[in-house]
Each structure stands twice: as C-alpha cells, then as structure tokens.
Amino acid sequence: MPSVHPDKLEQSKWTALIPEGREKHFLVVQVFRDRYGHVLDVLLEAVLTRKRQRLPWRELRDGGKWAPGWN
C-alpha cells in the first residue's frame, strides 16, 4: 500500500498498474474537500488523453491499482 498524505495530493503523479486503453500516467489536478477541510475525492487527468476521472482519494492507497510517480 503506497503511503499517501492527503495534504500532498494536489499535482501529484500516479501510474495505473492496470491501464485502460493507453491511459497509464495520471496527474491529480483537483482535490475535493468537505466543509471541514477533509479530503474526499481527487480529480485525475490522464497525461496522454487529458481524460478526467473523479475517485475517492483513498483508492490511490490500493497498491494493486496505483503506484505513486510515473513508472
């Protein structure tokens, strides 16, 4: 499980370990927070296609799906 600190998610780079199509490398372009400042979701943008997807930030901790950085 990769170590993920919620305050350091913005502009972080991620690699999908099971890419869909040619989308393997992603950048966190937005972090969604609740009214108390707790991180809820992140908006990932595929580097190659610019396609965006929103997902709960804790999914990035799944070492079977995501790796920090661009591998």
Q: What is the 3-state secondary structure (H, E, C) of 32-51?
A: EECCCCCEEEEEEEECCCCC
Report the CATH number at residue 64. Answer: 2.40.10
List pLDDT tens digits, range 8-30.
999 999 999 999 998 999 999 99
pLDDT of amino acid 2: 66
Number of structural domains the chain divides into: 1
Rounded to two decimals, the pTM is: 0.91
List pLDDT tens digits, range 46-68.
999 999 999 999 999 999 999 99
**What residues form DSSP beta bridges with 4?**
none
Range of the structural domain that residue 10 is part of = 6-68
In a domain, 43, yes or no: yes
In a domain, 1, yes or no: no
Angle of CA points 64, 69, 71, to nearest 5°? 75
Q: Does residue 1 surpass a pLDDT of 70?
A: no
Q: Does residue 3 surpass a pLDDT of 90?
A: no
